[in-house]
Amino acid sequence: MKSISLIQFLIEEKRAGHINSELSLLIEVVARACKRISVAVAKGALGGVLGNAGTDNIQGEAQKKLDVISNEILLEANAWGGHLAACASEEMDDPQPIPDAYPKGHHLLLFDPLDGSSNIDVNVSVGTIFSVLLCPDDIDEVRAEHFLQKGTEQVAAGYVVYGPSTLLVLTFGHGVHEFTLDREHGSFVLSRRGMTIPAQTSEFAVNMANQRHWEAPMQRYVGELQAGSTGPRGRDFNMRWVASMVADVHRIVTRGGVFIYPLDARIREQGGKLRLMYEANPMAFIVEQAGGAATTGRERIMGLQPTGLHQRVPVFLGSKDEIEVVTRYHLESDDSRT
């Protein structure tokens, strides 16, 4: 395959009318920032970037040094480009306006600067997840409420995996495409065009340690997967859990599977573990664009009306047939209780 750089691909997408110049520039800037994060992650202990930063984020989670460094790299890179009205991050309580010194654009950017924090210090793949929305017209000051748009309003979404190789996976609503960072030339090169998720799968990803806290339909679903060929599903299933959403989802976008972070008794009050605006929605957009499905166990994730910038939701995503089964089990269980 003739090598196509990310820049070339963005020009093609512009010519096809899928994106405009401002969105193209935005993606270029985010990709460049992620190249810098990739260098910082790869340095590890030699760069003094491992361990805790000694501060907590709005969710009361201890911030890792790389959480803070990645957040700053993305903020700095996106401040002066003129393609953004504001951005919001897992690591910041409130949206970050574009400094008055710089021109403002028409897009809103949300990101989880470093996903998979529990894996940073043990050299397991981590990543960056981002979502792009349009900023409502005629507003003087961008506030959190302007970001609270349904996932179906996203104009772009992507993630970067910092693993053995650094990969950028992207959608503008016209399929899902993967780019690999060519470290020698310092540029992202198209490595897979039009990725698709098989409807059927025998692979599931969930943190089994939380099983005793799960709802009944979730117990039923995973119990049947574990029973395999001796149970009602009549075939065997295998399990994987990296505990970095980007790595687990990338495996699914590459070869199929289901990823589940359900509601459980420990996290019922907060509504789930993963965040809707910069984890669930961008991953749901990518998975749906690759032919998969993404629900809360009950509703389509991208159809949810957000109520808060750091809102959490249950996440069930991946191969369509399995998401259909586990969602049906939850709805049947709800019906049986009414």
Contact set with ligand FBP (CB under 6 A): 90, 112, 115-118, 207, 243-245
Q: How far is the CB of 115 from ligand FBP (least distance, A)?
A: 4
Q: Which is nearer to ligand FBP, 117 or 296 (CB)?
A: 117
Q: Which is nearer to ligand FBP, 139 or 208 (CB)?
A: 208
Q: Which is nearer to ligand FBP, 264 or 322 (CB)?
A: 264
Q: How far apart are CA 302 and CA 173, in angstroms?
A: 13
Q: How far is the CB of 141 from ligand FBP (least distance, A)?
A: 28
Q: How far is the CB of 131 from ligand FBP (least distance, A)?
A: 14
155 in Cβ contact with 132 (< 8 Å): yes
Neighbours of 264 (CB within 10 A): 18
- Bridge-based pairing state of the strands 293-295 and 315-318: antiparallel
End-to-end C-alpha distance for the chain, whole angstroms: 56
* Torsional class of 336: left (φ above 0), alpha (ψ -120 to 50), beta (otherwise): alpha
For tokens 């981590």, the residue is 126
Q: How far is the CB of 109 from ligand FBP (least distance, A)?
A: 16
272 in Cβ contact with 313 (< 8 Å): yes
Q: How far is the CB of 110 from ligand FBP (least distance, A)?
A: 13
Q: How far is the CB of 276 from ligand FBP (least distance, A)?
A: 13
Q: How far apart are CA 113 and CA 131, in angstroms?
A: 11
Q: Which is nearer to ligand FBP, 117 or 149 (CB)?
A: 117
Find the length of the chain.
338
What ranges make up the beta strands (E) of the chain?
A: 52-56, 62-64, 84-89, 96-97, 107-115, 126-134, 156-162, 166-171, 176-182, 187-192, 203-205, 238-239, 258-261, 274-275, 293-295, 312-313, 315-318
Among 124, 22, 121, 128, residue whose Cα is nearest residue 75: 128
Q: How far apart are CA 142 and CA 136, in angstroms?
A: 9
Q: How far is the CB of 111 from ligand FBP (least distance, A)?
A: 10
Q: Which is nearer to ligand FBP, 36 or 213 (CB)?
A: 213
Q: How far is the CB of 16 from ligand FBP (least distance, A)?
A: 33
Q: Which is nearer to ligand FBP, 71 or 289 (CB)?
A: 71
Q: How far apart are CA 188 and CA 178, in angstroms?
A: 9
Q: Which is nearer to ligand FBP, 57 or 289 (CB)?
A: 57
User: DSSP secondary-structure letter at 68?
Assistant: H
Q: Which is nearer to ligand FBP, 59 or 152 (CB)?
A: 59
